[in-house]
Amino acid sequence: MSEKTPFYITTPIYYPSGNPHIGHCYSTIACDCVARMKRMQGFDVMFLTGTDEHGQKIEKKAAEEGMTPKEYVDGIVANFKKLWSTLGISYDRYIRTTDDYHIESVQKIFKKLYDTGYIYKSAYKGKYCTPCESFWTESQLVDGKCPDCGREVTDASEEAYFFKLSQFAPKLKELLLDEQKDFLNPKSRVNEMINNFIEPGLQDLCVSRTSFKWGIPVDFDEGHIVYVWIDALSNYITALGYLNDRYNDYDKYWPADMHVMAKEIVRFHSLIWPAILMALGEPLPKKVYGHGWITFGDGGKMSKSKGNVVDPFILSERYGVDSLRYHLLREMVFGSDCPYSNEQMFNRYNSDLANDLGNLVSRTVAMIEKYFGGTLPVDKDFNDSDEELLSMTDELPAFVDETFSSLRFSEGLEKIFRTIARANKYIDENEPWILAKDEAKKGRLAAVLYNLLDTVRRCAILLSPVMPHICPEIFEQIGADESVTTWEASKTRHALKADVTVKKGRVLFPRIDIEKELEELDAMSRPARELPSEPMKEITNFDNFAALDLRAVKVLSCEKVPKSDKLLKFIVDDGFGERQVLSGIAKYYEPEQLVGKTLGMIINLAPRKMMGLESNGMIMSVRDGDKFRVVEFGDDIKAGADIS
């Protein structure tokens, strides 16, 4: 048996400064889909994902939560892993940059680059915020001030190590322009890198810091920690065992076949990362793919702070993991941003999954049960009119391989679903319900249903990397055993047994009532209402209310009650005459603030004594937490006016 060909694919390592959201899902689902397809095709796949856990932001977040940075990231990493498990992500390895073996490798890489002269010591100059102990670049400042606390910043410098990125400019340009290598996709990003970064002149890169602690220590210079680049980007090789003993897979899997990421970090992967590898004398990854962002209504980047996060856990639970995977892969056109809305997802689900695919499977299986008791006869009359559907299906495997391998999932899926739509039309053209009425046409009926079943089989094989949970159910319903559901078998016509037996199962994609679901999701996303601190009282009858005499009163005088820090003593005009009333509001009002005011009052409460003084009635007020106000009317309301 020949050795399987290795295939190495990576997601970026995510920054766990907050919990994962749908914005993190696309790169990971895309990689998972490619990894699953390559495994089906017989490759020895290594699919890596992980988390980039160092840095000042995490150090600060942890401090705010009263935790160590490691405790903080442990909690978030658990949530990332939970999400990947929910979404059916079949990663082979998960790297955390806080793992010991990674730390060991990064220290060795840093030392190696220092020893070979690619890293040198100099001074990092920037804008410094003293209270935040943070350096900022000019472009990070907000109105010239610290983006974190808004205070003034000052010019400052600290001793730091630099990587000679500038030296690699010509080689990087050559790499990016090499048509043969086709290193960076989409092509539009190549010009962006060259025009925006290489042509203006690449600067050397500051690769260490002394102003914070949460990072990998530079082991030959105390106080310095490795800053971002060498720590994060190296994960792709340390995870294989480069300069560590934890793994022994570097020779087998490196160079990576595909690094996949969102567009904002393409620069790090197509300039900094290749330069680091060149300096180390190691081979470069074969391909870098930068996809667009999932965006929301306003076209802005997916962001947690806008409160419009669509929860992937909720979507998966309510509509199926595979539906979410399908939707994201079908909608995202590689290289472009993809607007996301639940409504759009439901429309796509209803049209493609419920109407086209789900219907094709259930109609075909139901007809075989109805007309043949579930098992097709061996004798079938195929004819030339079958050719269009069959040859359309023949084209799929190569096209899907090509498009999925280059992250053009939407094109591949579109073509699969055009074939599924063609199969539905084939039913209408052949009218099995008419054929079934004529005993002489049983052979033709069997051929039509068999062609449908086999088209479903071939399409479902190609859809398995996208919908890994549902496709096995489809295979079960159409009676396709493992031998005919391999990637190879998708290339073969009529691989199903001639006397195949189907088995009706559950409805695979129940239709979504879009209006109803949108309303329910909306209700779920609304913040829980904060209830008033006073619970609601029991219902009373109108007479109880009518028995209270509520009036507007004018405050004639108001003074503090001696020896009480709570009580104010009022003389008010209630329209009939003057009365004395006490109120415990001295904390909120100075007496002189209230003189002359027209307030609301209950005037027929039985008199009460407080601090030896009689109170006749009660001034109306409202309290909301710390806030307190008397109920007040305008000057034009006469004393004695009735309140109802």
DSSP per-residue string spanning 530-582: PPPSSPPPPP--HHHHHTS-EEEEEEEEEEEPTT-SS-EEEEEE-SSSEEEEE
Give the position of tokens 């009689």: 614
Instruction: Tell which one of 148, 473, 499, 517 touches Zn ion (CB under 5 A).
Output: 148
- Least CB distance to Zn ion at residue 130 (A): 8
Select 149 or 622, whichever has its Cβ closest to Zn ion.
149
**CA pseudo-torsion sign 602, 605, 611, 614:** positive
- And the tokens for 118? 């690619």
User: Which stretch, 124-132, 273-281, 392-400, 429-437, contacts Zn ion (CB under 5 A)?
Assistant: 124-132
CA dist 123 and 140 (Å) reads 19
Residues that contact Zn ion, how many (by CB under 5 A)? 6
Residue from 33, 73, 113, 146 in contact with Zn ion (CB under 5 A): 146
Secondary element (H or E) of residue 615: strand 613-615
Q: Of 60-68, 132-140, 173-181, 556-564, which segment contacts Zn ion by CB under 5 A?
A: 132-140
Region of residue 28 (phi > 0: left; psi between -120 and 50: alpha; otherwise: beta): alpha
Q: Which of 131-139, 229-237, 249-257, 521-529 is the region at the interface with Zn ion (rule: CB under 5 A)?
A: 131-139
Question: With CB under 5 A as the contact rule, which of the stretches 126-134, 186-194, 411-419, 601-609 interacts with Zn ion?
Answer: 126-134
Tokens of 462: 């190609």
Q: Which is nearer to Zn ion, 149 or 398 (CB)?
A: 149
Nearer to Zn ion, 157 or 248 (CB): 157
Rounded Cα distance between 518 and 489, Å, is 40
DSSP string computed for 571-582: EEE-SSSEEEEE
Both tokens of residue 273?
């990362």
Sign of the Cα torsion 459, 342, 363, 504 reads positive
DSSP 618: E
CB closer to Zn ion, 26 vs 135: 135
CB of 86 to Zn ion, least distance (A): 38
Residues 77-116 as x/- pattern, contact with Zn ion by CB under 5 A: ----------------------------------------
Minimum CB–partner distance for residue 145 and Zn ion (Å): 8
Stretch that binds Zn ion, among 36-44, 141-149, 207-215, 310-318 (CB under 5 A): 141-149
Q: Which is nearer to Zn ion, 155 or 428 (CB)?
A: 155
Would you tell me how many other CB atoms lie within 10 Å of the CB of residue 447? 21
Binding segment (CB under 5 A) for Zn ion, from list 122-130, 186-194, 294-302, 416-424: 122-130
Candidate segments 143-151, 395-403, 460-468, 599-607, binder of Zn ion by CB under 5 A: 143-151
Reading the block at residue 550, the tokens are 């509520």
Kindly tell me which of 154 and 533 has the beta carbon lying closer to Zn ion: 154
Closer Cβ to Zn ion, 148 or 401, answer by number: 148
- CB nearer to Zn ion: pick between 134 and 234: 134
Rounded least distance, CB 212 to Zn ion, Å: 13
Considering beta carbons, is residue 33 or 132 the nearer one to Zn ion?
Answer: 132
User: Which is closer to Zn ion, CB of 132 or CB of 639?
Assistant: 132
Q: Taking a C-beta distance cutoff of 8 angstroms, is the pair 552, 599 a contact?
A: yes
Q: In whole angstroms, how close is the CB of 223 to Zn ion at the nearest point?
A: 22
Q: How far is the CB of 153 from Zn ion (least distance, A)?
A: 7
The answer to the question of residue 156 lying near Zn ion (CB under 5 A) is no
From the list 228, 221, 223, the residue with the least C-alpha distance to 206 is 228
Contact flag: residue 416 with Zn ion (CB under 5 A) = no
* Of residues 132 and 630, the one with the C-beta less far from Zn ion: 132
The pair of structure tokens assigned to 11 is: 């997601």
Helices then strands, each counted (H, E), the chain: 24, 25
611 binds Zn ion (CB under 5 A): no
Least Å from the CB of residue 147 to Zn ion: 8
Shortest Å distance, C-beta 136 to Zn ion: 8
The contact mask relative to Zn ion for 493-522 (x = CB under 5 A, - = no) is ------------------------------
Which one among 13, 29, 132, 480 touches Zn ion, defined by CB under 5 A? Answer: 132
User: What's the CA gap between 472 and 450, in Å, rounded?
Assistant: 19
Q: How far is the CB of 126 from Zn ion (least distance, A)?
A: 13
Residue 349 is given by DSSP the state I
Distance of CA 289 to the CA centre of its chain: 19
> In this structure, are residues 29 and 87 in contact, taking their beta carbons and an 8 Å threshold?
yes
Q: Which amino acid is at 382?
A: F
- The 3-state DSSP class for residue 642 equals strand
Q: Are strands 288-291 and 294-295 parallel, antiparallel or unpaired?
A: unpaired
Closest approach of Cβ 73 to Zn ion, in Å?
23
Pick between residue 146 and residue 361 the one whose CB is nearest to Zn ion.
146
CA–CA gap between residue 272 and residue 284 (Å, rounded): 12
CB of 563 to Zn ion, least distance (A): 49
Q: With contacts defined by CB under 5 A, name the span among 145-153, 173-181, 276-284, 581-589 that binds Zn ion.
A: 145-153
> Any alpha helices (H) in 395-505, and if so which ranges?
396-405, 409-430, 432-435, 442-463, 471-477
- Which region, judged by CB under 5 A, interacts with Zn ion, from 129-137, 353-361, 451-459, 474-482? 129-137
Identity of the residue, 146 or 218, whose beta carbon is nearer to Zn ion in the bound complex: 146
CB neighbour list of residue 332: distance below 8 Å, 6 or more residues apart: 26, 30, 291, 292, 294, 338, 409, 410
* Cα 422 from Cα 426, distance rounded (Å): 6
Q: Name the residue nearer to Zn ion (CB basis): 60 or 579.
A: 60
- Name the one range near Zn ion by CB under 5 A: 32-40, 147-155, 167-175, 531-539: 147-155
Could you tell me which of 587, 616, 589 has the C-alpha nearest to residue 601?
616
Task: Kindly state the smallest distance separating residue 61's Cβ from Zn ion, in Å.
Answer: 15
Applying CB under 5 A, the span of 123-131, 247-255, 275-283, 625-633 interacting with Zn ion comes to: 123-131
Q: Is 129 a binder of Zn ion (CB under 5 A)?
A: yes
**Euclidean distance between the first and final Cα of the chain, in Å?**
93
Nearest distance from residue 149's CB to Zn ion, in Å?
A: 3
By CB under 5 A, residue 149 contacts Zn ion? yes
CA dist., res. 290 & res. 212, Å (int): 31
Least Å distance between CB 132 and Zn ion?
3
* Residues 6 or more apart in contact with residue 496 via CB below 8 angstroms: 450, 453, 454, 457, 478, 479, 480, 484
Q: How far is the CB of 148 from Zn ion (least distance, A)?
A: 5
Cβ closest to Zn ion, residue 153 vs residue 568:
153
Q: How far is residue 406 from each of residues 103, 202, 291, 460, 536, measured CA to CA in Å?
A: 33, 29, 11, 20, 61
**Min CB(64)–Zn ion separation in Å:** 14
The residues that touch Zn ion, with contacts defined as CB under 5 A, are 129, 132, 146, 148-149, 151
